[in-house]
């Protein structure tokens, strides 16, 4: 299935997965960009944003759990975020944390908050509509991980 065919399925979990990848890139870039400020609160939220980017990487690209040396407790925690409801909750929590960063000085971390919230909404829509989670084959979804092992 090509990327165009995946988007044509109108499954919100596919949209959520790709928005999650965009969120990961934004969290990484904005976390680095904002960590070099003088305001302590901004530095804390920037570090949280950076950590979120790595968590998202392992959640959205399941192939990495097989090829990267991680602990069994980390693997279990990441595997727990497998349903659409759990993904919506995880992204909603990460988005809420970034929205709370606006309590301090207003920074570009709001872009990360917006994308994390949009991703949570996509996963929530998929869950409410009863759509099963469908991982993108491009990102290491069904079939790709089994071919490597």
Q: For the chain, what is the radius of gyration of the CA atoms? A: 16
Query: What separation in angstroms does the CA of 103 have from each of 64, 107, 109, 113?
Result: 35, 10, 12, 13
Q: Are 122 and 90 in contact (CB under 8 A)?
A: no
Q: Answer whether residue 16 is part of any domain.
A: no
| 7 located within any domain | no
Residue 12 in domain: no
Predicted local distance difference test score (pLDDT) of residue 70: 81
For residue 7, CA distances in Å to 13, 14, 124, 129, 132 come to 10, 7, 17, 17, 15
Beta strands in 6-142 (DSSP E): none
pLDDT, position 141: 56
Residues of the chain with pLDDT under 50: 143-149
Number of domains in the chain: 1
* 116/21 Cα distance (integer angstroms): 10
Tell me whether residue 49 is in a domain.
yes
Expressed as residue numbers, the domain containing 144 is 22-148
pTM of the model: 0.84
In a domain, 130, yes or no: yes
Q: Does residue 81 form part of some domain?
A: yes
Structural domain includes residue 11: no
Q: How far is CA 20 from CA 89, 105, 127, in A?
A: 13, 25, 16
> Which pLDDT belongs to residue 145?
41
Q: Is residue 103 part of a domain?
A: yes
């Amino acid at each position: 299935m090509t990327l165009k065919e995946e988007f044509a399925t109108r499954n919100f979990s596919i949209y959520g997965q790709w928005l999650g990848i965009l969120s990961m890139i934004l969290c990484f870039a904005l976390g680095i960009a904002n960590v070099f400020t003088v305001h302590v609160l901004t530095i804390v939220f920037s570090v949280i944003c950076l950590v979120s980017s790595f968590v998202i990487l392992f959640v959205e690209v399941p192939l990495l759990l097989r090829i990267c040396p991680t602990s069994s407790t980390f693997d279990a925690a990441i595997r727990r975020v497998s349903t659409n409801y759990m993904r919506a909750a995880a992204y909603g929590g990460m988005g809420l944390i970034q929205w709370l960063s606006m309590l301090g000085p207003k920074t570009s971390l709001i872009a990360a908050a917006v994308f994390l919230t949009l991703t949570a909404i996509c996963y929530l829509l998929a869950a409410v509509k009863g759509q099963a989670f469908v991982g993108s084959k491009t990102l290491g979804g069904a079939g790709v991980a089994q071919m490597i092992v």
